[in-house]
Amino acid sequence: MLAITDDSIGFHLAGHAASAGHADRQTRREEASSSIRRSDDRASLLQAIVNGDRDALRQLHELNAANMLAIAIRILRRRDLAEEALHDAFISLWTNAYKYDRHLSAPTT
| Domain count along the chain | 1
Q: Tell me if 90 is assigned to some domain.
A: yes
Checking if the pLDDT of 21 tops 80, the result is no
Q: Tell me if 107 is assigned to some domain.
A: no
Cβ of 26: how many Cβ atoms within 10 Å?
Answer: 8
Q: Tell me if 109 is assigned to some domain.
A: no
Each residue of 22-77: pLDDT tens digit? Answer: 445 555 545 544 444 455 788 889 999 999 999 999 999 999 999 999 999 999 99
Long-range contacts of 8-13 (CB under 8 A, 24+ apart): 10/54, 10/91, 10/94, 11/54, 11/57, 11/90, 11/91, 11/94, 12/87, 13/61, 13/65, 13/83, 13/86, 13/87, 13/90
CATH classification of the domain holding 57: 1.10.1740
